Structure 1
């Protein structure tokens, strides 16, 4: 068995070993049933301090290893995601509430992230610079040191590995703090993968925990870079705290992404894209289509077709039935979703489909007659809700798309791709998909948002990863020392 729960029961991963956490233990709850899947350890600030010291000591030796050795560890890690896919997927479905297709996608991305990261150690790591002095001048990239990664509950494998893999490949040590609600899938699984891949002890530490552990990670002086994925509210606090301690924080935050359906769109294609964009993984994705902006000529039929599709999507336990949607993560998240839906209908939105729940299973919901003043339009819902607003021309579509503090992803559906691209250029977002919905992810592509969605493309692609997890150092060399006036 690759994943032996007895290893991490009431334990955290420090210095290459599982040991009791000072914060006690965390119950691993299956959201679909409310049953217990086991327990994992919880870290506090003392554990973070121990982990930081262990990571700093291990990082120096790891960074000094020949680049083919680091690359080989990442390649072995990539293979392990595939070799143990069934076992890892079981945890992903049960602990996260992901449908099997989503679990499989997460494993595919994790494998690709490791393959992409394996290419980083062999890349050129600097450049020669002209100098007005008789010397060799160069700029080199060096590992940042210890990188703190704080990952959320919704897609825990992807949102951890996309920082962990490149940071390790570039010679850093990593302290990973997964969300306590998905600490096995987002933490223990990564510890096992890299342990089996031959990563030296101490280079990766896994510390499940809450706000205390997160704050300690951000403020510890040995942790030089923070890679945070989560809500905009939490990201503002992380960024502020990191700024006070003069360290970089890469923030991938919330979204309220728009799908624009132009008047020439294929309506069947548009509805298919819309349903996937809003309902995939129960809408618990930062790129989820949070606003559907539809030309008035197509609006009524679009709403009717999307509502009909939503009403037919099966919802249930993804571990025991073939369903399109599983549970949301917990009661707090469910209640937040429902409050936004109810407030929106009180303020004039029309419930075209859904709007109810049973346990943690929230029905795919379509809200019509939505305006920028509707709560479901203005807020990130993070649930399976599709608010639909109408527009009259491209100028109004652009204004509606920009009527949000977020700027993560954008989808545009049109038979004229160049017209779609011209419209996209008017709307500031980090990601654009012409004739596709807003939820897409590839390991070799830059990922990130603007505005309240974060600090730009900090993940994906060699350039973004090198920028995120290294420092630039200026080095000069002379054949003999110069003579100065005094």
Structure 2
């Protein structure tokens, strides 16, 4: 069976005015589970970025002038291409990103949702008829594209975290330059390029330039770029925001999280521990929405810990491409070493390992830590690994205080037998997202997704939010004829 990547000569190249040789060299795409080389990808440099943004700016005006239905048709076609070729996308997510097959299938489903929602944007109303303060004058406000949007996406959910910005930006009349993380350059970049190429997107509107911090900084500084949509760590996000801010770009920053799962004393602990395990261990905990702090009322803490530890001990870890496993590898040795450092330092400060705490290669065992306090590294830091630190609190008031005791503010979840009690508690949590009787890992293409504090700068992804992110208002007035003024 012919696959999308079989139809073009893409190995060692970037996608910019077709498949071209990169100036930054070539990098091996490797499988974290085995170390095997899967492919070679081209690496962009600052010259590639400059050429791409100039071409994108040139192509964007004609694209914006097309009718909404014609742009929508391209996005719908991309969704159809993805649906027909989803097995290829899923395989790359498993092998290149270390995802288990279920996570890969879930990610493709999320991308399909983003494409369908993006395809609906160009045919929605795009302005308002305004009242006028003067007779004989018509006044309107209309949404217009920004121009060229730079997208910088990470490695953990590479396909969705690229497409959720690329698709609505294109749908609303912008051109896009995408810089995917080099660790998942195929699943977060090459496949995105092929998807829109096969959908018939006109030349010059999408450029895919894998690279390191150099081309990322060049993209943030480039005068042809009107906006940067960045998803990644808070530390790098601060740098991107500072760089882009100097050129007065619009900046959307979706950053890290240290998210609380609060378990109240009336919760069903079998269900709560299931939610806790899923929230902490999905994709090896390498998700900005991971339940990184389990805050449990003391009357149910021992039972919750016991149930959570047993779930962790029963989760198989291994190569997701060849085995039936629940957790695959961490993305690289640096990530593994940081996870283990946090665990060891937290244990050294007095916490107890109830499950896990060890690794083999890049395979880290799902870990449960008891006796965690607010001063320990596992509480203060975003771990980005399969670790569930459990903090015991006296009551709801302390649970809220402990949950809010962080610079991050992405998502929180509450497990309770009383929905009203959960809603009341949710009102006191300083996060952009709260889920009652659920876990922290949720995403809908039509919901406003984003955080507060160190988790983001107030931007939101999601279908209706895309109008705010990827267009700007233009006020236009009309008179039938010009008139004189007092001067």
TM-score using structure 1 length: 0.99
Structure 1 unpaired stretches of 5+: none
The equivalent residue for 1:133 is 134
Listed as ranges, the gaps of 5+ residues in structure 2 are none
For 1:384 and 1:8, locate their aligned partners in 2 and report how far apart those are by CA, in whole Å: 34
- Deviation at residue 294 of structure 1 after TM alignment: 0.5
* 2:15 matched residue in structure 1: 13
Query: 5 Å matches for 1:51-130?
Result: 51-130=52-131
| CA–CA separation in structure 1 for the residues paired with 2:54 and 2:463 | 30
Decide which of 359, 382, 402 is 1:357's aligned counterpart.
359
Partner of residue 2 from structure 1, selected from 4, 11, 29: 4
Aligned residue pair count: 484
Shift of 1:456: 2.4
C-alpha distance in 2, partners of 1:301/1:416? 19
Matched residue of 2:207: which SS? strand
Q: Aligned-pair RMSD on alpha carbons?
A: 0.9
Report what 1:325 is aligned to. Answer: 327
Tell me, what secondary structure is at the counterpart of 1:120? helix
From 153, 177, 182, the equivalent of 1:151 is 153
- CA–CA separation in structure 2 for the residues paired with 1:257 and 1:312: 24
1:445: which partner in 2? 447
Structure 1: distance between partners of 2:304 and 2:274: 10
Once the two structures are overlaid, the 10-residue window that deviates more, 127-136 or 288-297, is 127-136
Listed as ranges, the matches of 1:286-301 within 5 Å are 286-301=288-303
Aligned match of 1:177:
179
Cα shift readout 1:232-254 (whole Å, capped 9, x = no counterpart): 00000111111111011100000
Shifted more, 226-235 versus 72-81: the winner is 72-81
Please identify, of 376-385 and 2-11, the stretch whose mean Cα deviation from structure 2 is larger. Answer: 2-11
Tell me what 1:142 maps to.
Answer: 144
**Contact 2:148–2:224 (CA<8 Å) still a contact in 1?**
yes
After TM superposition, give the deviation of residue 4 of structure 1 in Å: 2.7
Q: In 1, Cα distance between the equivalents of 2:326 and 2:23? A: 40
1:29 aligns with 30
**SS of residue matched to 1:263:** coil
Post-superposition offset of 1:458: 1.7
- SS of aligned partner of 2:202: coil
SS in 2 for 1:298: helix
Task: Please list the CA deviations of residues 139-160 of structure 1 after superposition, one character each: whole Å capped at 9, or x if unmatched.
Answer: 1100000000000000000100
Name the SS of the counterpart of 2:226 in structure 1.
Answer: strand
**Does the 8 Å CA contact 2:448/2:462 hold for their aligned counterparts?**
yes
Offset of residue 7 of structure 1: 2.0
Does 2:487 correspond to 1:482? no
Indicate which of 219, 229, 232 corresponds to 1:230: 232
1:219-276 CA-to-partner distances (Å, cap 9, x unmatched) read 1001001000000000001111111110111000000000000000000000000000
CA separation in 1, counterparts of 2:184 and 2:6? 16
Residue 412 of structure 1: SS of its match in structure 2?
Answer: strand
Structure 2 counterpart of 1:378: 380
CA contact (8 A) 2:318 2:329 kept: yes
Q: Deviations over 1:401-446 (max 9, x none)?
A: 0001100011000010011010010011111100000000111111
Deviation at 1:170, TM superposition (A): 0.1
Residue 162 to residue 441, structure 1, CA distance change in 2 (3 Å):
same
SS in 1 for 2:227: strand
Conserved 8 A contact 2:118-2:167: yes
1:207-246 to 2 correspondence within 5 Å?
A: 207-246=209-248
Partners of 1:317 and 1:165 lie apart in 2 by 32
Cα separation, 1, equivalents of 2:161 and 2:326: 22
Q: Distance in 2 between matches of 1:28 and 1:331?
A: 15
In the other structure, the counterpart of 2:340 is: 338
Please say if residues 5 and 38 of structure 1, whose CA atoms lie closer than 8 Å, have aligned partners that are also in contact. Answer: no
Structure 1 Cα separation of the partners of residues 233 and 6 of structure 2: 32
Which of 283, 308, 311 in structure 1 is aligned with 2:310? Answer: 308
Classify the secondary structure of the residue corresponding to 1:103. helix
Cα separation, 2, equivalents of 1:357 and 1:482 = 78
**What's the offset of the Cα at 1:67?**
1.1
Report matched runs for 1:428-439 at 5 Å.
Answer: 428-439=430-441
Q: Alpha-carbon deviation of 1:461?
A: 2.7
Distance 2:8 2:59 in 1: 26
